[in-house]
C-alpha cells in the first residue's frame, strides 16, 4: 500500500475520523462495543462515506460503561465479534490518515483487539485532535472533546456514541486546519512533529502502554514512492520533438495524404486552417485516413474535412513528463509543440515521449493544471518533494530538479489564477474585464525554485488606472489567488510581492511607468523590486502583455547606467559565511546558504546579464551567455556556475531531510550532518562569492 506523502497539506489529507465505545477506560483491558468512522476528503466531511457497527465484546458490559454510552448487553446479542468486522474496517480505512480525539486510546484498544484474535495489525498514520488543539488553543482550561468542540463552535450530535464522536472529531480537525496553518503547521509531517514535541503527554501515554498518537519519526512510506525514471524530468519537448513539423493543405485528398504519410514514414500531418489566416490548426493521423478511406460516405473528403481540431499542444520548454500527462489526459498519441511566439515548431508522438517512462504513481503529468478544487491542488502539490528526492538520488543535477519544481510552481500559480477566476464568477463579478497575464517572479521565474517557495507574483492587464473598476477586479482576483496558494502550501510573501498588492498590479502603461520610475529614482527599495521583477515568467493569460513588459524593462535597463551601478553595489555587498581561517560560520549549528551564498551568485548573474543585454532568466544561462560574449574570465564564470549547482544541491538535500522530520524547509543547512568531502566542497562553493564580486567589478565602473 502506498503511504501518504509527508508533505501533504492538512487540507488535502485523505483521512478518516475514528471513534469507538468500549467496556471501560483501561485501554489495555477494554473491549470494543461500537466502532464508527467517517471519511474526510478534499477538505470536507463525506457524510455518505461512513463505517458503523456494534461489536460483541465477548464479555459483560459493566453498568458504569452502559451509563455513559447507553449500549447494554441486550443491544449486543446479535452483534458480530471483532474478527468478523476487522477486514471491513481495514477496507474502509484503506491508506487514510486516522484522526480522533485522544486517538492513542482508540489505537491501543484496536491493536489489542487484533492481538486477541491473532490478526496482524498495521499501524496507520494518525493525528490526535486533542493534541493539535493544544498547539493553538493554549488558553483553554481543558482539551476534552466537549471543551474543544465548544471553543471551535462544533455542535456534537450523539455525544458518547461512536458515530457522533467520530463526526465531532472530523469537524474539529477541519476547523483546526486554518489555526494550525497560521501557527506554521501546514503539512502532515509538521503536524506529527508538533505532536511529538509535546513530549510529556506522549511519554505518559507510552508509559501507560498506549500506542503513540503519531508514528515515530521517519516511519513513513514515502520510500515506497521513490523509484522513478528520471528521463521525462530531464528532457524537454524540444529535445525529443520532430522538427520542422509536416503540414498538409486542407484541400489535400485523403488518398493522396495516405500515400504521403507512407512515403515520409510518419504517422500524422498537421493541417492548416482552411481560411489560411493562421487560425486553428488541426491534425490528421494515419488511423483517421484509414477510417476515412474505408468509409464510402467520407472517402472523397479532403483532409481539412476530417481533421481533428484544435491541435493539442505543449510548449517547447515543457518537460517530457508534462507531454506524457497531456497525452494521457486527452487520450491521444500526437501533440504539436509551440515556440515562444505561440507558433507550431515541432511534433511529438507517443513513441517520442514513451521511450522511457516515469513510474505511474509519481508522474506529475499536467494534473496541476486541471485540479478541480483547492484540496485536490494541495494533494498534487504534495508530490513535489517525493519527485525531488527520487531525482536527487538518481544523480540528476540540482539545477535540473529546480527547473522541474519551478515548472510545477508556475503551473500551480496558473491553476490558482483559474480557480480564482471561478470564484469571481461565483461571486457575481463576472470574468476578466480586459485581457491580463499572471507573472511568476523571483526563483520561480528563473527556474530555480526549490521546496520552500513563497509567493512572488504579479499581474499585468491591458488597461485600467489605479482604483479603476478594472484595477479593483484584479485586486480581488489577486487576493483569491494568493489565498488559494497559501492554503495549498505556498505561503504569502512576507515582502508583499503578490498581485493582490497595488505595487505588483498594473496595466501595461502602468508597468512601463513603474519600471521607468525604478530605474530613474534608483533607491534601495527599487533595487529589491528589480531583483525580483527581472526574473519574470508568464504563466496564465495573454503572454503578449508579459512580453511587452519584459521588452520594455530590459531595453530601459541598458540605458540606465546609474541604476546598474546601484544594482552592482547591492550584488557585491554579500559576504560569504566563512571565518578567518576558512571555517563555516554557523548559527545554532546551521549556515544560511541562501543568504550567505546563493543570493550573491544569483544577483551577480542578473547584473551581468542586464549590463550585457542578456535576456536569459536562469543563473546558469545568464552566466553562459555572458561567457559566450567573451565578457569576464571564462574559468571564473564556469566556477561560479559549478558553485551555484553545489549550493542548490546542499539546500535541496537539507530541505528533504527537514521535511521528513516535520521541519519547515528553508535555505539553511546543518553543517554537522555533512561529511568531510561535502564540507570541503561547500567551503569552495562559498569562496566563489568573492569570485562573483570580482566578476561584477567595481560598481562605479558601470556606465
Would residue 3 count as lying in a domain? no
Cell of 86: 476487522
170 vs 40: CA distance, rounded Å: 7
Query: Is residue 182 within 8 Å of 487, Cβ to Cβ?
Result: no
> pLDDT per residue over 416-472, tens digit each?
999 999 999 999 999 999 999 999 999 999 999 999 998 999 999 999 999 999 999
CATH of the domain at 257: 3.10.580.10
Give the torsion through C-alpha atoms of 582, 587, 590, 592, to 10 deg.
-80
Q: Residue 224 pLDDT > 60, yes or no?
A: no
Q: What is the mean pLDDT of residues 504-532?
A: 87
Residue-level pLDDT at 357:
44
Q: Residue 275 pLDDT > 80, yes or no?
A: no
Q: Which residue has the higher pLDDT, 563 or 351?
A: 563
CATH of the domain at 514: 3.30.460.10
Would residue 300 count as lying in a domain? yes
Using the Cα atoms of residue 56, residue 57, residue 59 and residue 62 in order, give the sign of their dihedral.
negative
Would residue 330 count as lying in a domain? yes
pTM of whole model > 0.75? yes
Would residue 245 count as lying in a domain? yes
Residue-level pLDDT at 279:
62
Residues 250, 146 share a domain:
no
Would residue 2 count as lying in a domain? no
Q: What is the mean pLDDT of residues 346-374?
A: 69
Q: How many residues are present in the chain?
A: 703
Residue-level pLDDT at 276:
52
Q: What is the mean pLDDT of residues 292-314?
A: 86
Q: Which residue has the higher pLDDT, 92 or 563?
A: 92
DSSP string, 568-630: HHHHT----SB-TTSPBP-BTTEEEHIIIIIHHHHHHHHHHHHHTT----SHHHHHHHHHHTT
For 244-259, letters b (16+ CB in 10 Å) and e give ebeebebebebeebbe
> pLDDT per residue over 7-60, tens digit each?
899 999 999 999 999 999 999 999 999 999 999 999 999 999 999 999 999 999
CATH of the domain at 27: 3.30.420.10
Q: How confident is the model at residue 519 (pLDDT cuts 50, 70, 90)?
A: confident
Q: What is the mean pLDDT of residues 240-269?
A: 88
Residues 267, 302 share a domain:
yes
Cell of 415: 491553476
Residues 404, 322 share a domain:
no
* Contacting residues for 169 by C-beta, under 8 A, at least 6 apart: 17, 18, 19, 99, 100, 101, 129, 145
Mean pLDDT of the chain: 90
Domain C-terminal end among 181, 196, 225: 225
Residue-level pLDDT at 223:
44
Cα–Cα nearest to 667, from 484, 492, 454, 489: 454
Residue-level pLDDT at 1:
40
Q: What is the mean pLDDT of residues 330-350?
A: 90
Q: What is the mean pLDDT of residues 469-494?
A: 96
Q: How confident is the model at residue 530 (pLDDT cuts 50, 70, 90)?
A: confident
Q: Residue 328 belongs to what domain range?
A: 231-353
Q: DSSP letter for 228, please.
A: -
* Contacting residues for 533 by C-beta, under 8 A, at least 6 apart: 441, 458, 515, 518, 553
Would residue 575 count as lying in a domain? no
Cα angle: 408, vertex 414, 419; to 5 degrees: 120
Percent composition of the chain: helix, strand, coil (DSSP 3-state, to 5): 50, 15, 35
Q: Residue 227 pLDDT > 70, yes or no?
A: no
Q: Residue 303 pLDDT > 50, yes or no?
A: yes
Q: What is the mean pLDDT of residues 319-343?
A: 88
Q: Residue 234 pLDDT > 70, yes or no?
A: yes
Q: Residue 355 pLDDT > 70, yes or no?
A: no
Residues 155, 44 share a domain:
yes
Would residue 570 count as lying in a domain? no
Query: Is residue 377 within 8 Å of 415, Cβ to Cβ?
Result: yes
Domain count, the chain: 4
Would residue 358 count as lying in a domain? no
Residues 279, 205 share a domain:
no
Residues 219, 245 share a domain:
no
> pLDDT per residue over 687-700, tens digit each?
999 999 999 986 55
Residues 608, 541 share a domain:
no
Q: What is the mean pLDDT of residues 359-368?
A: 56
Domain C-terminal end among 353, 385, 404: 353
Residues 382, 422 share a domain:
yes
Residue-level pLDDT at 386:
86
Beta strands 344-349 and 334-338, pairing class: antiparallel
Residue-level pLDDT at 673:
82
Q: Residue 277 pLDDT > 50, yes or no?
A: no
Q: How confident is the model at residue 354 (pLDDT cuts 50, 70, 90)?
A: low
Residues 219, 105 share a domain:
yes
Residues 630, 653 share a domain:
yes
Residues 164, 100 share a domain:
yes
Residue-level pLDDT at 689:
96
Three-state secondary structure call for residue 26: coil
703 vs 628: CA distance, rounded Å: 21
374 vs 426: CA distance, rounded Å: 15
Domain C-terminal end among 353, 376, 410: 353
- Using CA atoms, how far residue 84 sits from 55, 313, 365, in Å, is 9, 53, 42
Q: Residue 226 pLDDT > 70, yes or no?
A: no
Residues 285, 151 share a domain:
no
Residue-level pLDDT at 526:
77
Amino acid at each position: 500500500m502506498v503511504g501518504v506523502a509527508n508533505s501533504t497539506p492538512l487540507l488535502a489529507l485523505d483521512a478518516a475520523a475514528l471513534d469507538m465505545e468500549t467496556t471501560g477506560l483501561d485501554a489495555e483491558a477494554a473491549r470494543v462495543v461500537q466502532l464508527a468512522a467517517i471519511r474526510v476528503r478534499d477538505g470536507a466531511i463525506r457524510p455518505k462515506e461512513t463505517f458503523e457497527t456494534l461489536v460483541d465484546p465477548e464479555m459483560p458490559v459493566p453498568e458504569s460503561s452502559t451509563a455513559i454510552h447507553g449500549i447494554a448487553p441486550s443491544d449486543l446479542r446479535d452483534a458480530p465479534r471483532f474478527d468478523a468486522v476487522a477486514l471491513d474496517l481495514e477496507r474502509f480505512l484503506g491508506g487514510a490518515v486516522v484522526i480522533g480525539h485522544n486517538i492513542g486510546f482508540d489505537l491501543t484498544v484496536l491493536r489489542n483487539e487484533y492481538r486477541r484474535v491473532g490478526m496482524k495489525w498495521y499501524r496507520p498514520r494518525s493525528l490526535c485532535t486533542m493534541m493539535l488543539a493544544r498547539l493553538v488553543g493554549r488558553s483553554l482550561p481543558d482539551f476534552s472533546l466537549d471543551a474543544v468542540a465548544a471553543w471551535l463552535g462544533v455542535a456534537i450530535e450523539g455525544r458518547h456514541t461512536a458515530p457522533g464522536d467520530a463526526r465531532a472529531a472530523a469537524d474539529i480537525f477541519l476547523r483546526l486546519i486554518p489555526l494550525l496553518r497560521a501557527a506554521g503547521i501546514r503539512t502532515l509531517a509538521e503536524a506529527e512533529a508538533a505532536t511529538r514535541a509535546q513530549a510529556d503527554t506522549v511519554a505518559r501515554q507510552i508509559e501507560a502502554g498506549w500506542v503513540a498518537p503519531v508514528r515515530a519519526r521517519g516511519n513513513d512510506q514515502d520510500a515506497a514512492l521513490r523509484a522513478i525514471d528520471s528521463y521525462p524530468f530531464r528532457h524537454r519537448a524540444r529535445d525529443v520533438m520532430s522538427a520542422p513539423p509536416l503540414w498538409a493543405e486542407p484541400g489535400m485528398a485523403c488518398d493522396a495524404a495516405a500515400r504521403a504519410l507512407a512515403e515520409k514514414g510518419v504517422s500524422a500531418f498537421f493541417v492548416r486552417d482552411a481560411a489560411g489566416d493562421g487560425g486553428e490548426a488541426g491534425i490528421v493521423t494515419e488511423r483517421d485516413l484509414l477510417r476515412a478511406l474505408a468509409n464510402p460516405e467520407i472517402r472523397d473528403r479532403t483532409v481539412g474535412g476530417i481533421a481533428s481540431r484544435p491541435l493539442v499542444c505543449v510548449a517547447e520548454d515543457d518537460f517530457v513528463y508534462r507531454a506524457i500527462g497531456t497525452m494521457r489526459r486527452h487520450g491521444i498519441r500526437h501533440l504539436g509543440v509551440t515556440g515562444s511566439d505561440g507558433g507550431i515548431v515541432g511534433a511529438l508522438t507517443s513513441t517520442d515521449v514513451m521511450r522511457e517512462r516515469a513510474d505511474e504513481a509519481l508522474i506529475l503529468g499536467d494534473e496541476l493544471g486541471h485540479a478541480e478544487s483547492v484540496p485536490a491542488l494541495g494533494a498534487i502539490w504534495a508530490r513535489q518533494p517525493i519527485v525531488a528526492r527520487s531525482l536527487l538520488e538518481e544523480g540528476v543535477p540540482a539545477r535540473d530538479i529546480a527547473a522541474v519544481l519551478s515548472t510545477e510552481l508556475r503551473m500551480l500559480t496558473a491553476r490558482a489564477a483559474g480557480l480564482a477566476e471561478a470564484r469571481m464568477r461565483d461571486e457575481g463579478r463576472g470574468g476578466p474585464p480586459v485581457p491580463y497575464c499572471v507573472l511568476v517572479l523571483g526563483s520561480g521565474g528563473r527556474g530555480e525554485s526549490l521546496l520552500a517557495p513563497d509567493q512572488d507574483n504579479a499581474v499585468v492587464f491591458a488597461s485600467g488606472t489605479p482604483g479603476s473598476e478594472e484595477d479593483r477586479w484584479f485586486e480581488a482576483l489577486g487576493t483569491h489567488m494568493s489565498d488559494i496558494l497559501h492554503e495549498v502550501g505556498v505561503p504569502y510573501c512576507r515582502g508583499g510581492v503578490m498581485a493582490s498588492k497595488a505595487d505588483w498590479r498594473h496595466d501595461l502603461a502602468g508597468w512601463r511607468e513603474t519600471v521607468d520610475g525604478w530605474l530613474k529614482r534608483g533607491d534601495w527599495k527599487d533595487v529589491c523590486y528589480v531583483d525580483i521583477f527581472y526574473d519574470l515568467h508568464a504563466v496564465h493569460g495573454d503572454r503578449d502583455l508579459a512580453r511587452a513588459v519584459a521588452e520594455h524593462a530590459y531595453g530601459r535597463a541598458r540605458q540606465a547606467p546609474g541604476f546598474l551601478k546601484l544594482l552592482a553595489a547591492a550584488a557585491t555587498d554579500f559576504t560569504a559565511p566563512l571565518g578567518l581561517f576558512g571555517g563555516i560560520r554557523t548559527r545554532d549549528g546551521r549556515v544560511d546558504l541562501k543568504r550567505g551564498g546563493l543570493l550573491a551568485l544569483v544577483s551577480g548573474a542578473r547584473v551581468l546579464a542586464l549590463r550585457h543585454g542578456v535576456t536569459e532568466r536562469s543563473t546558469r544561462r545568464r552566466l553562459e551567455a555572458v561567457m559566450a560574449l567573451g565578457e569576464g574570465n571564462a574559468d571564473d564564470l564556469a566556477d561560479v556556475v559549478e558553485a551555484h549547482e553545489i549550493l542548490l544541491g546542499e539546500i535541496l538535500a537539507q530541505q528533504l531531510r527537514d521535511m521528513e522530520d516535520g521541519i519547515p524547509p528553508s535555505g539553511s543547512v546543518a553543517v554537522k550532518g555533512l561529511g568531510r568531502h561535502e564540507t570541503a566542497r561547500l567551503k569552495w562553493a562559498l569562496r566563489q562569492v568573492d569570485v562573483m564580486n570580482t566578476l561584477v567589478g567595481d560598481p562605479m565602473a558601470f556606465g
